[in-house]
Amino acid sequence: MISQESITLKPIGYVKTKALGDEVRNKSVISEIHVRPEFSDGLDGVNDYSHLLILFWLHEIPELKRMTLKVHPRGRADLPITGVFAVRTNLRPNPIGLTLVELTGVEGNVLTVRGLDAFDGTPVLDIKPYDYWDIAKEIKVPKWWNRLEEEKKQV
Amino acid sequence: MISQESITLKPIGYVKTKALGDEVRNKSVISEIHVRPEFSDGLDGVNDYSHLLILFWLHEIPELKRMTLKVHPRGRADLPITGVFAVRTNLRPNPIGLTLVELTGVEGNVLTVRGLDAFDGTPVLDIKPYDYWDIAKEIKVPKWWNRLEEEKKQV
């Protein structure tokens, strides 16, 4: 076992979006990712993909909240309290966000994407192309997850 | 734009596997993730999912290699040179690995998973549950990607 206790990262770019607050959770929201000019060459070939996985730093989560280990999913007290590694909450020991987005445009060092649930100014850590190995055919999720989806359909 | 220049993470656990070298790329390989005891509570409910996304730190990539911005996919000179954000190479500015795995068991603070392409001792940064929002229905990947898949079928 390696005892590497501290890992340091640098933003490779930043999110730019007009969406405010909860608007970013709308799956149709369009955002831009402004990649730092020194990393622009890393984007070569990215437009051969329809989808990307964006890793970003949840910079608004204070250090203290990184100690949270259990939450109610989506903050709803009627859903069972659950470990943070079993929910996509932003309260986690290493607050890294991960979202599948649709790539709608590339121009120089700016990507335009649909469905990125990150606030304006969020530091981006990595951009990974989405391929068939990221797709699981048959999956199982908790009952509360399916229940939330059903509720949305009824709205 | 936020000028947060440096981000610090801590491993939440480590990979334990008997697979050596390229053996870890075998999609059927079984590995364990030993979550640090202080984060065990975060695993509550994880076994309600069939699949997880594992974020890990590619600790064997030296600082200098983080400057690489273009590579031949899978190190093959016959494939077009491509930006690191358009390939799942481990040479990237922030060497974070991301892999979809099948969860085959949970016992205390130890997860058993299938398909994790990480070496023994790799620091784990985050464990995220895989759900339907991580599945894109129709996707596009580069020609070289499909060509590599075709080659595998012919072996």
B154 compared with A98, residue with greater pLDDT:
A98
Q: pLDDT digit string (tens) for A74-96?
A: 999 999 999 999 999 999 999 99
B143 compared with A60, residue with greater pLDDT:
B143
Q: With contacts defined as CB-CB under 8 Å, which chain A residues touch B92?
A: 42, 126
Residue B85 has pLDDT above 50, yes or no: yes
Q: What is the pLDDT of residue B1?
A: 45
Hey, what long-range contacts does B63-68 have (CB within 8 A, 24 or more apart)? B65/B91, B65/B95, B66/B91, B66/B92, B66/B93, B66/B94, B66/B95, B67/B93, B68/B92
Q: pLDDT digit string (tens) for A97-111?
A: 999 999 999 999 999
Q: Which residue from B minimizes the CA distance to A122?
A: B2
Question: What is the residue type of A97?
Answer: G
ipTM: 0.94
Q: What is the pLDDT of residue B78?
A: 94
Measured CA distances, B134 to A98, B45, B59, B114 (Å): 10, 19, 26, 18
Q: Which residue from A minimizes the CA distance to B127?
A: A85
C-alpha to C-alpha distance for B59 and B114, rounded to whole angstroms: 21
Q: What is the pLDDT of residue A153?
A: 84
CB contact B37 to A (< 8 Å):
no
Cβ–Cβ gap B135/A138 under 8 Å: no
Measured CA distances, A71 to A68, B11, B54 (Å): 8, 21, 20
Q: What is the pLDDT of residue A85?
A: 98
A121 compared with A153, residue with greater pLDDT:
A121
CB contact B84 to A (< 8 Å):
yes
pTM summary value: 0.95
The answer to whether residues B5 and A10 touch, using CB atoms and an 8 Å cutoff, is: yes
Q: What is the pLDDT of residue B71?
A: 97
B34 compared with A20, residue with greater pLDDT:
B34
Residue A3 has pLDDT above 60, yes or no: no
Cβ–Cβ gap A44/B136 under 8 Å: no
CB contact B108 to A (< 8 Å):
no
A147 compared with A4, residue with greater pLDDT:
A147
Query: What DSSP character marks residue B10?
Result: -
Q: What is the mean pLDDT of residues A109-131?
A: 97
Cβ–Cβ gap A7/B2 under 8 Å: no
Q: Which residues contact A89 (CB under 8 A, 6 or more apart)?
A: A68, A71, A73
